[in-house]
A and B are shown apart, each in its own frame.
Chain A
Amino acid sequence: MTAFLIGNFMLNGTVGVLLYLLITKKKKIFADRYGMVVAMCGSGVLSLHLAMLTVFLIPDYFIIQVLFALGIGAFIGKKFGSLMKYQSLLSGLFHGIIGGIMGMMLGIVILNPSLCGLPSASLNSLQDNMLIFTVFGTILVIMTGSLLYYSLKV
Protein backbone atom coordinates (compact mmCIF):
# COMPACT_ATOMS: atom_id res chain seq x y z
CA MET A 1 0.00 0.00 0.00
CA THR A 2 2.82 2.42 0.87
CA ALA A 3 4.58 1.72 -2.41
CA PHE A 4 1.33 2.34 -4.29
CA LEU A 5 0.82 5.64 -2.48
CA ILE A 6 4.39 6.80 -3.11
CA GLY A 7 4.08 5.84 -6.78
CA ASN A 8 0.82 7.75 -7.05
CA PHE A 9 2.41 10.79 -5.38
CA MET A 10 5.22 10.76 -7.93
CA LEU A 11 2.76 10.26 -10.81
CA ASN A 12 0.72 13.28 -9.79
CA GLY A 13 3.82 15.37 -9.21
CA THR A 14 4.96 14.45 -12.72
CA VAL A 15 1.60 15.49 -14.14
CA GLY A 16 1.88 18.83 -12.34
CA VAL A 17 5.41 19.51 -13.53
CA LEU A 18 4.47 18.55 -17.08
CA LEU A 19 1.44 20.84 -17.03
CA TYR A 20 3.57 23.69 -15.67
CA LEU A 21 6.18 23.24 -18.39
CA LEU A 22 3.54 23.05 -21.14
CA ILE A 23 1.84 26.22 -19.92
CA THR A 24 5.14 28.09 -19.45
CA LYS A 25 5.99 27.51 -23.09
CA LYS A 26 2.91 29.41 -24.23
CA LYS A 27 2.62 32.14 -21.67
CA LYS A 28 2.82 34.91 -24.25
CA ILE A 29 -0.83 34.40 -25.17
CA PHE A 30 -2.12 34.87 -21.64
CA ALA A 31 -4.61 37.53 -20.80
CA ASP A 32 -5.17 38.67 -17.23
CA ARG A 33 -8.33 36.70 -16.58
CA TYR A 34 -6.94 33.56 -18.18
CA GLY A 35 -3.98 33.59 -15.82
CA MET A 36 -6.36 33.76 -12.87
CA VAL A 37 -8.40 30.79 -14.11
CA VAL A 38 -5.28 28.70 -14.74
CA ALA A 39 -3.96 29.50 -11.27
CA MET A 40 -7.29 28.55 -9.66
CA CYS A 41 -7.71 25.23 -11.47
CA GLY A 42 -4.18 23.91 -11.45
CA SER A 43 -3.19 24.80 -7.91
CA GLY A 44 -6.56 23.80 -6.40
CA VAL A 45 -6.80 20.24 -7.68
CA LEU A 46 -3.08 19.44 -7.46
CA SER A 47 -2.64 20.65 -3.91
CA LEU A 48 -5.86 18.89 -2.82
CA HIS A 49 -4.72 15.52 -4.09
CA LEU A 50 -1.14 15.86 -2.85
CA ALA A 51 -2.31 16.90 0.64
CA MET A 52 -4.65 13.89 0.80
CA LEU A 53 -1.78 11.58 -0.15
CA THR A 54 0.41 13.25 2.48
CA VAL A 55 -2.15 12.44 5.18
CA PHE A 56 -2.29 8.81 3.97
CA LEU A 57 1.49 8.52 3.95
CA ILE A 58 2.24 10.12 7.34
CA PRO A 59 -0.87 9.32 9.42
CA ASP A 60 0.55 9.90 12.90
CA TYR A 61 2.27 13.28 13.10
CA PHE A 62 -0.23 16.08 12.68
CA ILE A 63 2.15 19.02 12.68
CA ILE A 64 4.34 17.49 9.95
CA GLN A 65 1.20 16.93 7.85
CA VAL A 66 0.17 20.56 8.28
CA LEU A 67 3.57 21.96 7.40
CA PHE A 68 4.08 19.64 4.44
CA ALA A 69 0.60 19.97 2.94
CA LEU A 70 0.38 23.73 3.31
CA GLY A 71 3.94 24.14 2.06
CA ILE A 72 3.14 22.11 -1.04
CA GLY A 73 -0.09 24.06 -1.60
CA ALA A 74 1.58 27.44 -1.25
CA PHE A 75 4.47 26.41 -3.50
CA ILE A 76 2.17 25.11 -6.26
CA GLY A 77 -0.05 28.17 -6.01
CA LYS A 78 2.95 30.49 -6.21
CA LYS A 79 4.34 28.66 -9.24
CA PHE A 80 1.06 28.58 -11.15
CA GLY A 81 0.09 32.09 -10.10
CA SER A 82 3.27 33.89 -11.13
CA LEU A 83 3.08 32.75 -14.75
CA MET A 84 1.57 35.92 -16.14
CA LYS A 85 1.54 38.86 -13.76
CA TYR A 86 1.82 39.14 -10.06
CA GLN A 87 -1.90 39.84 -9.67
CA SER A 88 -2.94 36.27 -10.31
CA LEU A 89 -0.43 35.20 -7.66
CA LEU A 90 -2.98 36.14 -5.00
CA SER A 91 -5.62 33.88 -6.56
CA GLY A 92 -3.18 31.02 -7.02
CA LEU A 93 -1.79 31.24 -3.48
CA PHE A 94 -5.27 31.40 -1.94
CA HIS A 95 -6.57 28.42 -3.87
CA GLY A 96 -3.43 26.42 -3.24
CA ILE A 97 -3.71 26.88 0.53
CA ILE A 98 -7.48 26.21 0.51
CA GLY A 99 -6.89 23.05 -1.51
CA GLY A 100 -4.23 21.90 0.94
CA ILE A 101 -6.51 22.41 3.95
CA MET A 102 -9.45 20.66 2.27
CA GLY A 103 -7.30 17.73 1.18
CA MET A 104 -6.03 17.32 4.74
CA MET A 105 -9.59 17.33 6.07
CA LEU A 106 -10.68 14.75 3.49
CA GLY A 107 -7.76 12.46 4.27
CA ILE A 108 -8.31 12.65 8.03
CA VAL A 109 -12.02 11.86 7.67
CA ILE A 110 -11.28 8.90 5.38
CA LEU A 111 -8.79 7.52 7.89
CA ASN A 112 -11.19 7.97 10.82
CA PRO A 113 -14.85 8.17 9.68
CA SER A 114 -16.25 8.25 13.20
CA LEU A 115 -14.91 11.80 13.44
CA CYS A 116 -17.90 12.92 11.35
CA GLY A 117 -20.47 10.65 12.99
CA LEU A 118 -20.23 8.10 10.20
CA PRO A 119 -20.08 4.40 11.08
CA SER A 120 -16.43 3.54 11.64
CA ALA A 121 -14.76 1.34 9.04
CA SER A 122 -12.93 -1.92 9.58
CA LEU A 123 -9.34 -2.34 8.46
CA ASN A 124 -10.19 -3.96 5.12
CA SER A 125 -12.71 -1.38 4.04
CA LEU A 126 -10.33 1.34 5.23
CA GLN A 127 -7.76 0.20 2.70
CA ASP A 128 -10.48 -0.08 0.06
CA ASN A 129 -11.57 3.49 0.76
CA MET A 130 -8.01 4.76 0.52
CA LEU A 131 -7.55 2.94 -2.78
CA ILE A 132 -10.81 4.28 -4.25
CA PHE A 133 -10.12 7.85 -3.22
CA THR A 134 -6.56 7.73 -4.52
CA VAL A 135 -7.68 6.47 -7.92
CA PHE A 136 -10.54 8.98 -8.06
CA GLY A 137 -8.21 11.85 -7.19
CA THR A 138 -5.78 10.75 -9.87
CA ILE A 139 -8.61 10.71 -12.41
CA LEU A 140 -9.62 14.23 -11.34
CA VAL A 141 -6.04 15.54 -11.61
CA ILE A 142 -5.55 14.05 -15.07
CA MET A 143 -8.96 15.34 -16.23
CA THR A 144 -8.20 18.85 -14.99
CA GLY A 145 -4.76 18.75 -16.59
CA SER A 146 -6.16 17.72 -19.94
CA LEU A 147 -8.89 20.39 -19.74
CA LEU A 148 -6.26 23.04 -19.00
CA TYR A 149 -4.06 21.81 -21.83
CA TYR A 150 -7.05 21.91 -24.17
CA SER A 151 -7.79 25.47 -23.07
CA LEU A 152 -4.44 26.59 -24.52
CA LYS A 153 -5.77 25.83 -27.99
CA VAL A 154 -9.25 27.33 -27.75
Chain B
Amino acid sequence: MNISLMVSGTVAIVTGVILIYQFPFEFVFITIITTIIGIIIGVIFGALFDYQTLLTGYINGLMIGLMAPMIGAAASLNMMFLLFIEIIFIFSLFLLAFSARHT
Protein backbone atom coordinates (compact mmCIF):
# COMPACT_ATOMS: atom_id res chain seq x y z
CA MET B 1 0.00 0.00 0.00
CA ASN B 2 2.75 2.45 0.89
CA ILE B 3 4.77 1.54 -2.21
CA SER B 4 1.81 2.10 -4.54
CA LEU B 5 0.91 5.40 -2.84
CA MET B 6 4.42 6.82 -3.07
CA VAL B 7 5.35 5.66 -6.56
CA SER B 8 2.07 6.67 -8.21
CA GLY B 9 2.18 10.10 -6.60
CA THR B 10 5.76 10.97 -7.50
CA VAL B 11 5.57 9.59 -11.05
CA ALA B 12 2.33 11.47 -11.71
CA ILE B 13 3.69 14.76 -10.43
CA VAL B 14 6.95 14.50 -12.42
CA THR B 15 5.06 13.56 -15.60
CA GLY B 16 2.61 16.40 -15.24
CA VAL B 17 5.24 19.06 -14.62
CA ILE B 18 7.47 17.96 -17.52
CA LEU B 19 4.59 17.66 -19.99
CA ILE B 20 3.09 21.04 -19.12
CA TYR B 21 6.55 22.66 -19.46
CA GLN B 22 6.91 21.15 -22.92
CA PHE B 23 3.38 21.83 -24.27
CA PRO B 24 1.92 24.84 -22.42
CA PHE B 25 -0.96 25.34 -24.89
CA GLU B 26 -2.57 21.92 -24.51
CA PHE B 27 -3.73 22.06 -20.90
CA VAL B 28 -6.75 19.81 -21.28
CA PHE B 29 -5.06 16.90 -23.04
CA ILE B 30 -2.00 17.09 -20.82
CA THR B 31 -4.26 16.76 -17.78
CA ILE B 32 -6.02 13.73 -19.25
CA ILE B 33 -2.76 12.03 -20.29
CA THR B 34 -1.18 12.66 -16.89
CA THR B 35 -4.21 11.23 -15.11
CA ILE B 36 -4.10 8.09 -17.24
CA ILE B 37 -0.36 7.65 -16.64
CA GLY B 38 -0.85 8.07 -12.87
CA ILE B 39 -3.66 5.52 -12.88
CA ILE B 40 -1.58 3.00 -14.84
CA ILE B 41 1.47 3.36 -12.60
CA GLY B 42 -0.66 3.07 -9.46
CA VAL B 43 -2.42 -0.02 -10.79
CA ILE B 44 0.85 -1.69 -11.84
CA PHE B 45 2.56 -1.13 -8.50
CA GLY B 46 -0.58 -1.89 -6.50
CA ALA B 47 -1.20 -5.15 -8.32
CA LEU B 48 1.99 -6.52 -6.82
CA PHE B 49 0.07 -7.39 -3.64
CA ASP B 50 -3.72 -7.58 -3.88
CA TYR B 51 -6.86 -5.82 -5.03
CA GLN B 52 -7.10 -3.27 -2.23
CA THR B 53 -3.60 -1.93 -2.76
CA LEU B 54 -4.53 -1.68 -6.45
CA LEU B 55 -7.47 0.55 -5.50
CA THR B 56 -5.25 2.68 -3.25
CA GLY B 57 -2.67 3.28 -5.95
CA TYR B 58 -5.43 3.96 -8.47
CA ILE B 59 -7.11 6.69 -6.43
CA ASN B 60 -3.85 8.37 -5.46
CA GLY B 61 -2.53 8.41 -9.03
CA LEU B 62 -5.85 9.83 -10.23
CA MET B 63 -5.93 12.70 -7.75
CA ILE B 64 -2.29 13.75 -8.07
CA GLY B 65 -2.41 13.31 -11.85
CA LEU B 66 -5.32 15.75 -12.03
CA MET B 67 -3.46 18.30 -9.92
CA ALA B 68 0.09 18.03 -11.28
CA PRO B 69 -0.26 20.08 -14.55
CA MET B 70 -1.77 22.90 -12.50
CA ILE B 71 1.26 23.30 -10.25
CA GLY B 72 3.52 22.97 -13.30
CA ALA B 73 1.67 25.79 -15.01
CA ALA B 74 1.77 27.93 -11.89
CA ALA B 75 5.55 27.49 -11.67
CA SER B 76 5.85 29.07 -15.15
CA LEU B 77 9.03 27.48 -16.62
CA ASN B 78 11.13 27.74 -13.50
CA MET B 79 14.03 25.32 -13.90
CA MET B 80 14.90 25.20 -10.20
CA PHE B 81 11.45 23.83 -9.47
CA LEU B 82 11.90 21.08 -12.07
CA LEU B 83 15.29 20.19 -10.59
CA PHE B 84 13.75 20.04 -7.10
CA ILE B 85 10.95 17.74 -8.26
CA GLU B 86 13.43 15.48 -10.04
CA ILE B 87 15.61 15.25 -6.93
CA ILE B 88 12.56 14.30 -4.86
CA PHE B 89 11.62 11.67 -7.45
CA ILE B 90 15.08 10.05 -7.50
CA PHE B 91 15.34 10.22 -3.73
CA SER B 92 11.96 8.51 -3.32
CA LEU B 93 12.99 5.74 -5.73
CA PHE B 94 16.17 5.30 -3.69
CA LEU B 95 14.12 5.10 -0.48
CA LEU B 96 11.82 2.56 -2.14
CA ALA B 97 14.74 0.28 -3.04
CA PHE B 98 16.20 0.75 0.44
CA SER B 99 12.95 -0.17 2.19
CA ALA B 100 12.36 -3.14 -0.10
CA ARG B 101 15.77 -4.54 0.75
CA HIS B 102 15.46 -4.10 4.51
CA THR B 103 12.10 -5.71 5.20
For chain A, the bracket of interface size reads: 20 to 34
Q: How far is the CA of A136 from the CA of B63 in the complex (A)?
A: 13
Q: Say whether chain B's binding surface is mostly helix, strand, loop, or mixed.
A: helix
Which residues between 97 and 154 of chain A lie within 8 Å of chain B, taking CB atoms? 98-99, 102, 105-106, 109, 113, 116-119, 129, 132-133, 136, 140, 144, 147-148, 151, 154
On whether the beta carbons of B70 and A37 are closer than 8 Å, the reply is no
* With A117-B76, A119-B25, A132-B28: A44-B59 Cβ-Cβ less than 8 Å: yes
For chain B, the bracket of interface size reads: 20 to 34
B67 interface residue (CB < 8 Å to A):
yes
* With A119-B25, A132-B28, A154-B51: A147-B66 Cβ-Cβ less than 8 Å: no
Q: How far is the CA of A133 from the CA of B59 in the complex (A)?
A: 18
Q: Say whether chain A's binding surface is mostly helix, strand, loop, or mixed.
A: helix
A33 interface residue (CB < 8 Å to B):
yes
On B, residues with C-beta under 8 Å from A are 24-25, 27-28, 31-32, 35, 51-52, 55-56, 58-59, 62-63, 66-67, 70, 73-74, 76
What 6 pairs across the A-B complex have the smallest Cβ distances? A116-B73, A117-B76, A37-B52, A116-B74, A41-B59, A154-B51
